[in-house]
Amino acid sequence: MTNALKSCATADEPDMHAPWYICRNMYNVPSSNRDWQASTERCPVVTAHASQAEEKRQTATLSETTHSATKLIPDPPAAIIAAAARCFARWGIQRTRVEDIAVEVGIARPHIYRYFASKDAIVHAVVLREIRHHHRRLAERFPHNGPAADLIIGSLVSGIRDTANDPDLPFLVGGDAANVTARSLTSSPEVLSELRTHWVPLLEYARGRGELREGLNLDKAARFLVHIQLSYLALPEMAPPPTELEDDLRLFILPALIEANEKE
């Protein structure tokens, strides 16, 4: 007997609107006849009622299990981002589902949405994480000392080569993923803000040294430099050989940023 029927069978006063009571009357089973229990178990109304109760119980159990599982994860958002990066590297951004990320983390899919509103939000978070890692490396490698032109070219070359040679990053820039990453770069305010943290201070440094072209918009210049990096990474077959990369950047990119007399 279902839990719903058990509770109804032991009630002192029957609820005339309860599914079991309605079905008992439909089957014309006398109230003194205990066989009404077997009859009502065949009724679609009671069956649906019991099914809904069981579904609620399972949902509550799943929620409790998920909550217990996430207690074991010190930083759930970071764990989700790391799991998403692994999934993107394994299957690609477009083929990865939120369900795949949830399985990788070891939590239920609905719990992902406590921290990220959509898959696009997860992609933004992964892109943001990689940009921050990249900027930390650049800051260590290229402190603001010496000619700004050298720092700009060094940062571009390092960004292109490091990303191209990192086995964990092609999922962000290879093939169709480049379009997804480009959308993230242009549509996420947080990503756009992070892009400023390396290029804008470097361009301000160049301006302070009198190297930067007059009237140059720093935000537009920063986006331009990011676009150059992404273009080289998205279409590696069209990029110059590694030995020619720096020369090409100096020849074609610097004139857009640096005053001519400062390049000598």
In CATH, what number is assigned to the domain containing residue 141? 1.10.357.10
pLDDT band at 248 (very low <50, low <70, confident <90, very high): very high
Give the residue numbers spanning the domain of 52. 3-71
Whether residue 185 is predicted with pLDDT greater than 70 in this model: the reply is no
Residue 217 is predicted with a pLDDT of 94
Identify whether residues 65 and 80 lie together within a single domain.
no
pLDDT band at 184 (very low <50, low <70, confident <90, very high): low
pLDDT: which is higher, 159 or 170: 159
Whether residue 250 is predicted with pLDDT greater than 60 in this model: the reply is yes
Residue 33 is predicted with a pLDDT of 47
Instruction: Yes or no: say if 80 and 115 are a contact pair by the CB < 8 Å rule.
Output: yes
Identify whether residues 12 and 43 lie together within a single domain.
yes
Identify whether residues 99 and 85 lie together within a single domain.
yes
Identify whether residues 53 and 143 lie together within a single domain.
no
Identify whether residues 172 and 258 lie together within a single domain.
yes
Whether residue 34 is predicted with pLDDT greater than 60 in this model: the reply is no
Identify whether residues 92 and 159 lie together within a single domain.
no
Identify whether residues 126 and 200 lie together within a single domain.
yes
Instruction: Yes or no: say if 153 and 255 are a contact pair by the CB < 8 Å rule.
Output: no
DSSP secondary structure, 211-229, as one string: -BPTT--HHHHHHHHHHHH
Whether residue 243 is predicted with pLDDT greater than 90 in this model: the reply is no
Identify whether residues 108 and 175 lie together within a single domain.
no
Using a pLDDT cut of 70, give the percent of the chain over it.
62
Looking at 71, 95, 129, which one is the last position of a domain?
A: 71
Half-sphere exposure of 251 (CA within 13 A, CB side): 6
Residue 211 is predicted with a pLDDT of 95
Question: For 95-121, how does the pLDDT look when each residue is reduced to its tens digit (9 = 90+)?
Answer: 999 999 999 999 999 999 999 999 989
Residue 17 three-state SS? coil
Identify whether residues 130 and 253 lie together within a single domain.
yes
Identify whether residues 98 and 224 lie together within a single domain.
no
Report the pLDDT averaged over residues 205-210. 95
Report the C-alpha gap between 208 and 218 in whole angstroms. 13
Report the C-alpha gap between 262 and 207 in whole angstroms. 11
CATH number of domain containing 81: 1.10.10
The total of structural domains in the chain comes to: 3
Residue 21 is predicted with a pLDDT of 55
Whether residue 166 is predicted with pLDDT greater than 80 in this model: the reply is no
Identify whether residues 8 and 81 lie together within a single domain.
no
Identify whether residues 63 and 162 lie together within a single domain.
no
Whether residue 257 is predicted with pLDDT greater than 50 in this model: the reply is yes
pLDDT: which is higher, 229 or 80: 80
Whether residue 162 is predicted with pLDDT greater than 80 in this model: the reply is no
Report the C-alpha gap between 200 and 192 in whole angstroms. 11
